[in-house]
Every structure is written in C-alpha cells, then in structure tokens.
C-alpha cells in the first residue's frame, strides 16, 4: 500500500494539506445512504376543513461541498397561536419617556420620549378618533422635559390647553404628576415641585383626577436609573401601581357621588 503523506497519521486522508479525519469504509457509507433513501413515515391526513395538526414535510435541496445535491426533509414545527387579551383595553396612558415601562391590565401605553405638553396634545388630537370604543379613561404623564426649558408660565399655559381639550372628550381624565429628580440640581427639582403643586390645585379646580407621584418618589434613589431622571424597573412597577391605585380610588369616589345624586 502507498505510504501516507508526511504529517498525516495512519487512517487519515490528507487533501491539499488539510486532514479530513478517519477514512470511511465504502460499505458503511453505502448502508448509510440506503437508510437515508428509505421512505419517510406517512403523515396523517388533513382534517376535513383543510387544517392539519402537522404540516407536510418540505424537501429542500442541499448543495454539497463537492457540487452534488442532496435532499433533506424539513418538517416545520407547530404554529403558535396568537394570544389575545381576555378583555379589551379600557385605559390609555400617554406621556414622555417616564411612561416607557408602565404596564398593567387593559391599558394602551403611548410613550413619546422627549415629548412636551404640546406634543402630547397634538398626538391626542390624532389618536382619539381612532381609539377603541372601550377606552374610558385617559391618563397623561408629561412635564419633566418642559421643566428643563425654564419657562414655567408657558408650561402652565400648555397644560391648561391640554386639560381643557381632554375635558371635551367624554372620558375620565387623569393627570399623573411628575416625579422628582435625583442629583440633577436644585433648580430642576424646584421647578418640578412647583409644577406638581400647580397641577394638583388646577386639577382640583377643574374636576380632573390628579395622581400624586412626587411624595412617593421623593429622596428614594433606589427607584431610579443612574441618570437620576428615569425610574428603573422597580420604580416603574411602583409608578404603575400608584397610578392604578389612585385611579381606582378616584373612580370609586366618583361613582359614589353619582349614586348619591
């Protein structure tokens, strides 16, 4: 028999300097090919309506390294049905990036990073005509980016226009107050505190539900990301819980007053 190439151990084949591993016996290879060529098990017939629990096998040609074409049988997995919510949405939350991770039952969240009060108002004008008829509440959370402009009176004017527009929508309206900042300077903190106080008084005068978040987040660094502005996962859960709890309490109080009348 011929001697193996230099650097190649017996039982291995060298092609252009590369090792292809142990030599395969032709008889074993022919047996493997015959097993591959055996007919596949028959699949169950389709249901009368055309739906089948299993999809038919799909044969796809596979191009080998030597230019030959082999056929493989690929059976796709079962289709996963789309899970629909048990109940239609009843609440819309719209606001700036603070609302990004607010999630609870039957809520549509529209997060607009960097949004000002005027941006939220413009978005609401576009959204309201297309909202599902099951939406009965609108919660607005905005104002953090407005406070960075250092134009408090302009921000108050924008909020007044927004509240007046929402009161005409024939839905329960709630304003979610801003959360304080951590380590962002005294001026930014003071402007947010002043805005929170003004919003609480204005909502009380206009019969709009106000959700107090400032006291809940005051001086609680563990609820924030490193930027000291946005809530972390724990803070987002607390914010969502506070919004839901306050909204439920206000709705219950309103129903009691209507029942007494």
Instruction: Give per-residue pLDDT as tens, 126-144.
Output: 999 999 999 999 999 999 9
d(CA 144, CA 260): 38
Is 174 in a helix, a strand, or coil? strand
Instruction: Give residue 56's pLDDT.
Output: 42
Complete domains list, the chain, with CATH: 91-260 (3.40.50.12700)
Q: Name the residue with higher pLDDT: 105 or 215.
A: 215
What value does the mean pLDDT take over residues 174-198? 95
d(CA 210, CA 177): 7
User: What DSSP line would sit under 19-81, residue for residue?
Assistant: EEEEPPPHHHHHHHHHHHTSPPPPPPPPPTTS--SSPPPEEEEEE-TTS-EEEEEE-PPPPPP
Pairing mode, strands 137-141 and 107-111? unpaired
- Ramachandran assignment for 150, one of left (phi > 0), alpha (psi -120 to 50 degrees), beta (any other): left
User: What DSSP line would sit under 94-124, residue for residue?
Assistant: EESGGGTT---TTEEEEE-TT--HHHHHHHH
Instruction: Give residue 81's pLDDT.
Output: 56
d(CA 172, CA 134): 12
Are 100 and 145 in contact, with CB atoms under 8 Å apart?
no
* 82: pLDDT strictly greater than 70: no
Question: What percent of the chain shows pLDDT beyond 90?
Answer: 56
Instruction: Give residue 88's pLDDT.
Output: 86
Instruction: Give residue 76's pLDDT.
Output: 57
d(CA 217, CA 121): 26
- Provide the pLDDT confidence category of residue 162 given band limits of 50, 70 and 90: very high
Q: Angle of helix 152-166 relative to helix 117-127, nearest 10 degrees?
A: 20
* 85: pLDDT strictly greater than 70: no
- Ramachandran assignment for 106, one of left (phi > 0), alpha (psi -120 to 50 degrees), beta (any other): left
What value does the mean pLDDT take over residues 216-226? 95
With residue 127 as reference, give the H or E element that holds it. Answer: helix 117-127
- Provide the pLDDT confidence category of residue 47 given band limits of 50, 70 and 90: very low
- Residues 233-247 pLDDT 10s: 999 999 999 999 999
pTM metric for this prediction? 0.66
Half-sphere exposure of 237 (CA within 13 A, CB side): 4
């Amino acid at each position: 028999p011929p001697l193996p190439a230099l650097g190649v151990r017996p039982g291995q084949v060298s092609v252009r300097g590369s090792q292809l591993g142990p030599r395969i016996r032709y008889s074993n290879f022919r047996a493997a090919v015959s097993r591959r060529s055996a007919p596949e098990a028959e699949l169950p017939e389709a249901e009368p309506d055309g739906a089948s629990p299993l999809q038919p096998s799909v044969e796809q040609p596979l191009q080998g390294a030597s230019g030959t074409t082999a056929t493989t049988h690929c059976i796709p997995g079962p289709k996963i049905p789309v899970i629909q919510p048990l109940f239609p949405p009843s609440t819309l939350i719209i606001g700036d990036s603070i609302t990004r991770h607010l999630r609870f039952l039957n809520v549509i969240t529209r997060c607009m990073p960097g949004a000002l009060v005027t941006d939220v108002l413009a978005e609401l004008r576009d959204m309201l005509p297309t909202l599902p008829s099951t939406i009965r509440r609108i919660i607005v959370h905005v104002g953090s980016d407005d406070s960075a402009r250092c134009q408090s009176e302009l921000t108050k004017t924008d909020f007044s226009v927004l509240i007046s527009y929402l009161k005409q929508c024939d839905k329960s309206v709630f304003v979610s107050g801003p959360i304080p900042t951590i380590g962002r300077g005294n001026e930014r903190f003071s402007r947010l505190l002043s805005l929170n106080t003004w919003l609480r008084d204005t909502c009380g005068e206009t019969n709009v539900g106000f959700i107090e978040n400032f006291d809940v987040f005051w001086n609680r660094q563990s609820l924030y990301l490193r930027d000291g502005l946005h809530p972390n996962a724990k803070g987002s859960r607390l914010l969502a819980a506070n919004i839901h709890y306050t909204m439920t309490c206000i709705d219950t109080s309103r129903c009691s007053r209507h029942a007494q009348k």
